[in-house]
Amino acid sequence: MLLFSAAAGLRAQTDSLLAEGDSLHRSYRFEEALEKYARASALTTDADTVRLLRDRMDRSQNALNMTDFCADPVVVARERFSRQDFFLFYPLKNQTWRLPPHSLDPSDDGFPTYAPRGGQSLCFSAPDGTGSRNLYVSQTDGSTWSAPALMDEHLLSPGNEVFPMLSEDGKKLTFSSDGLHGMGGYDLYTSTWNEEAHAWDEPVNMGFPFSSPGDDFLLVDSPDGRYTLFASNRDCSRDSVYIYVIEKQLFIPRIPMRDPVALARTASLSPLNDPKRLDHRAAVSGEAPGNEDTRRYMQMTAEARALRDSIYLHERKLDSLRLRLTAGTEDRTALTSAIADREAALAPLRHRLDETSRAVRSIEQSFLQTGVVSGTNRADREFVGARSSYTFSKNAPGAKLTLKVDSAPPAAAPTFQVGPIGRFAQDTTLPEGFVYQILLFTSPRHATLDEIKGLDPVYERLTNALRYTYSVGVFRTFNEALQQLNSIRRLGFPEAEITAYLDGKPIAVSLARRSE
């Protein structure tokens, strides 16, 4: 009983330190967060908890590294929108956000895809066999679309990649990921097409304050080249995001910044002249709309925004109270009571917000059916911030995509398996011609069976540098290897990568890919 009680006490202490670390990380106090995670790590031997804490420490260390190169961009505008349709307020062509067909994205979460009419390539996010969202591309010859293929090894992580945006020339890609090296949540990344390597370059994190401890999405340049826009939930409730409009600059100086107060102030990205104003007037007449349904829609939208603000304030207060509770320096009874009161107040607010949001969606659907809201007529659109230097205009969503997609090639026969006990290959000879393998790790000594985590067979080779390499699989195409890479990384090989061979001798992957 005493042993059980001691173990439970250690678990509670570990959980408390983890919660404190998370709160400190969200408050830009990254060094303090690292200290809490390190203390928690010293208290546990549970494999899942150790892995979670290691991820948290990596995240805070990444954030700390980013604070050595902080930008201070010129913010033109900032406005809050519902997370459900914020992308419709971007300055993109009308009716270009569309739901992909079930053949491309079989999930039910309704994740939108940017698909302008007449495009030759479709870049989208969809779940793989493990449930993670990866980036895929499909191309058309004018009649049919190619079977979706994973975009690239460098763009693949054990986490999720979402909101890909491909430049018109196909040379630049921006996207969000919560699985690549970042500071937490979804960070913003950019990658450039390397013509010589015939691959996408290693993605580059946009850095602070574009990336933050929150979720940061959908980085897009305005068509006139004057602005860069992106969305983030760093300073709002979970069901909404801010869209930030940044002045486009050829060069944004970056400086070190470690003070948490200064970091929070910079991350808030407040406009120089705060344009946080709503303007729902018709764009052409400047008069209040006379249509009763339109007036009701405006009232319901305003009510929804007010409710989101109230919920956000309650949630921030709750975070503060919970942090004080875990610190253990104040009366726990009073704090517990205050937390319960706040949580009780949140429930009816969320219920009202759900009802109001449903009413707003119902009106919007009615508008679309009757033609009151026309995506092609600017006078009928919703306008936000019209009195500021930047006006957000809401586009209409496009119809669900209907594509004729080529059948995927038959899956190659598996060349490895995962079982309770791994096995080293007795014969490490590779077939003639170009083949690919997945490199698990290198070691100065022979690996043990435990280290190969049930993989069978694993190819062990001694290099000229007197290091052992351990690889798995034999694939005839790069895409075959790419489709297996994430499953290998999830087994506990996060640095696994694809290697290439010609007649059994190692060659550059780019050379092998060009030969396909």
Please report which helix (H) or strand (E) contains residue 480, including its range: helix 478-490
Task: Please state which of the four CATH numbers 1.20.58, 3.30.1490, 2.60.120, 3.30.410 is assigned to the domain occupying 2-66.
Answer: 1.20.58
User: Where do the domains of the chain lie?
Assistant: 2-66, 70-280+385-408, 287-381, 417-515
Tell which residue, 176, 165, 171, has the closest CA to residue 122: 165
Residue 512, SS3 per DSSP: helix
Question: For residues 229 and 91, is the Cβ–Cβ distance under 8 A?
Answer: yes
Query: Tens-of-pLDDT digits for all 516 residues of the chain?
Result: 545 566 677 888 998 999 999 999 999 999 999 999 999 999 998 888 999 999 999 999 999 999 999 999 999 999 999 999 999 999 999 999 998 888 788 887 767 899 988 888 899 999 887 778 999 999 888 888 988 999 999 999 989 999 999 988 889 999 999 999 999 899 999 999 998 888 899 999 999 999 999 999 999 999 888 899 999 999 988 789 999 999 987 778 899 999 999 999 999 999 876 544 333 333 233 333 445 666 666 667 666 766 776 676 667 777 777 777 777 766 777 777 778 777 777 787 787 777 877 777 677 666 555 544 433 344 344 555 544 568 899 999 998 888 888 887 777 788 999 999 999 999 999 999 999 999 999 999 999 999 999 999 999 999 988 999 999 999 999 999 999 999 999 898 989 999 999 999 999 999 999 888
363-377 b/e (C-beta count within 10 Å ≥ 16 → b) = bbeebeeeebbebee
